[in-house]
C-alpha cells in the first residue's frame, strides 16, 4: 500500500516528504515503529502524527493512500 | 452542526503596524462594542550561547492549523459574549522586533474581550501546528520551543 509522508519543523531536517510503498503497516503504532527503525533520529524527539489531517490520539487503522504528517512540538506565536 | 467557514489566519511575512491600525479603524461602525483587547506577539532578539536571534522563520501545516483554529474560534464564541474576533499569524521570515501574531477581540464590556484574547493566545500556541525556526545573525538556526 502507498503512504504519503509529510514532515514539519525540525523533522524536515532528516525526513523528506515522500511516498512510500509498504506492506504490513496496519495501524499508526506499526507506522511509528517503522519510522523509528528507518529514522533513528526520531526516537529522541517528541512527535505527533496526523493521519489524513486528523491528529492521532490513539492507535488508528491506516488505509491505502493515507497521508501521514510527522509533527514535532508546536512553537507558533 | 454549524456551517463550516474556514477563515485564513496566515499572513506572509511580518504583520504591519498599519494593518493593525486599519483593523482597529474598521470597528468604528460597530457601535455595540465597548471594549477591545489586543495581543501582539513580537519576535524577541534572544541571546543563546552568545548569539542573537535575528529572525524567526515560521512554517505551518496550514490545512490542519486552519481547521484547528476554526474549532478554537467556535469554542471561544460559545464561551464568551464577543462581538468579533480577528486572528493573524505570520508565515515565513519575521525579523526581531517585528510583529508575528495579532489577536483582536471585542465585546460590549471589557472583561469577555480580555479573557477571550488571553485564552485564544494560549490555545493557539499549544494547539496549532506551527513551527518557528530561530535564525541567528550568522545564519545558523535552532528550532523554537514554546514554554
Query: What is the CATH number for B43?
Result: 3.90.1170.40
Q: B129 or B6: whose pLDDT is higher?
A: B129
Cβ of residue B60 closer than 8 Å to a chain A Cβ: yes
Q: What gap in Å lies between CA B75 and CA A53, rounded to an integer?
A: 20
- Whether residue B76 contacts residue B69, with contact meaning beta carbons closer than 8 Å, is answered with no
Closest Cα to residue B89, out of B117, B145, B126, B130? Answer: B130
- Out of 3.40.190.290, 3.40.309.10, 3.40.1190.20, 3.10.20.30, which CATH number does the structure's domain A2-69 have? 3.10.20.30
Q: How distant is the Cα of B31 from the closest Cα of chain A, in angstroms?
A: 30
Query: SS3 helix, strand, coil % of chain B, rounded to 5?
Result: 35, 40, 30
Residue B147 is predicted with a pLDDT of: 75
Identify the band that residue B2 occupies on the pLDDT scale cut at 50, 70 and 90: low
Residue A52 DSSP label: T
Nearest CA in chain A to B87: A77
**pLDDT at residue B3 greater than cutoff 70:** no
Which of B103, B131, B132, B133 should we substitute to test contact with A (largest number of A Cβ atoms within 10 Å)? B131
Is B132's CB within 8 Å of A76's CB? Answer: yes
Q: What is the ipTM of this complex?
A: 0.94
Find the mean pLDDT for residues A37-53: 96
pLDDT in tens, B70-116: 999 999 999 999 999 999 999 999 999 999 999 999 999 999 999 99
Amino acid at each position: 500500500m502507498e503512504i504519503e509522508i509529510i514532515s514539519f519543523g525540525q523533522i524536515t531536517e532528516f525526513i523528506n516528504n515522500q511516498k512510500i510503498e509498504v506492506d504490513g503497516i496496519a495501524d499508526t503504532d506499526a507506522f511509528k515503529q517503522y519510522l523509528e527503525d528507518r529514522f533513528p533520529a526520531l526516537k529522541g524527539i517528541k512527535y505527533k502524527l496526523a493521519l489524513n489531517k486528523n491528529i492521532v490520539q490513539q492507535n488508528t487503522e491506516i488505509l491505502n493512500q493515507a497521508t501521514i504528517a510527522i509533527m514535532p512540538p508546536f512553537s507558533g506565536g | 452542526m454549524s456551517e463550516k467557514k474556514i477563515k485564513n489566519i496566515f499572513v506572509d511575512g511580518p504583520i504591519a503596524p498599519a494593518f493593525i491600525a486599519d483593523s482597529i479603524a474598521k470597528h468604528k461602525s460597530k457601535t455595540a462594542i465597548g471594549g477591545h483587547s489586543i495581543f501582539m506577539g513580537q519576535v524577541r532578539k534572544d541571546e543563546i550561547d552568545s548569539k542573537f536571534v535575528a529572525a524567526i522563520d515560521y512554517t505551518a501545516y496550514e490545512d490542519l492549523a486552519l481547521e484547528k483554529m476554526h474549532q478554537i474560534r467556535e469554542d471561544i464564541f460559545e464561551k464568551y459574549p464577543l462581538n468579533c474576533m480577528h486572528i493573524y499569524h505570520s508565515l515565513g521570515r519575521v525579523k526581531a522586533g517585528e510583529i508575528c501574531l495579532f489577536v483582536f477581540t471585542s465585546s460590549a464590556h471589557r472583561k469577555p474581550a480580555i479573557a477571550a484574547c488571553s485564552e485564544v493566545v494560549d490555545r493557539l500556541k499549544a494547539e496549532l501546528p506551527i513551527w518557528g525556526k530561530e535564525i541567528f545573525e550568522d545564519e545558523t538556526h535552532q528550532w523554537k520551543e514554546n514554554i
